[in-house]
Amino acid sequence: MEGHTEQIVVGGQISTVFVDKVKQSVNNTFTSICQETPVCTGISENGVHASTIVGIMSVVCKGMVMCLTLGFPKETALATAKKFTGTEIAFDTPDMGDVIGELANILTGDIAAAMEQLGMPGELSIPTVARGSEIEMLLPTRPPSVTLNFKSTFGSFWLKVALGSPNIQIKK
């Protein structure tokens, strides 16, 4: 295996060590931006999300690609955008897309720094943002993934982390 992938994927699953680093990155990002640390309420399976906006980014490492999807229900997106920018931003505007894309970028940068500490330096993609109703994030080959759910006074949100590569050999 390239680098230290075994610290990130164990037995075909994302390791608890890496999940804890992802949770810490979420805490770092939202504490910095919103002056509040969100609480992880658990891990869930894929599901359909009602009116949602998502920021999607990737980190490409030697031997591995990580895809992150940061999702906000409408009310959480509105409250988070106001905390982040200091002004109200309408949900259905390009400005909201910019805010969610930048949040995804900041969070992914923090997670990429954690990956680098594990010996897996990587390069970040540019953010992609999608907005709609009844969004379901589907991945083609069912790579190791985890969806973490968070709540705070500004609302609930979720983060899906998926790992994969045509060359990755998962240690069982």
- The token pair at 15 is 């390791």
- The token pair at 103 is 């949040």
Q: Domain ranges in the chain?
A: 5-164
- The token pair at 46 is 């894929």
Q: 5-164 belongs to which homologous superfamily?
A: CheC-like (3.40.1550.10)
Taking only the tens of pLDDT, the chain with its 172 residues reads 344 555 677 777 788 888 999 999 999 999 998 888 999 998 876 655 666 899 999 998 877 888 999 999 999 999 999 999 999 999 999 999 999 999 999 999 999 998 888 888 889 999 999 998 777 666 655 678 888 999 999 899 999 998 876 454 444 4
Cα atoms in the Cβ-side hemisphere of radius 13 Å centred on 9: 23
Beta-strand ranges (E) seen in the chain are: 9-10, 13-14, 39-44, 52-61, 64-73, 122-124, 128-132, 145-152, 155-164
Global pTM reads 0.86
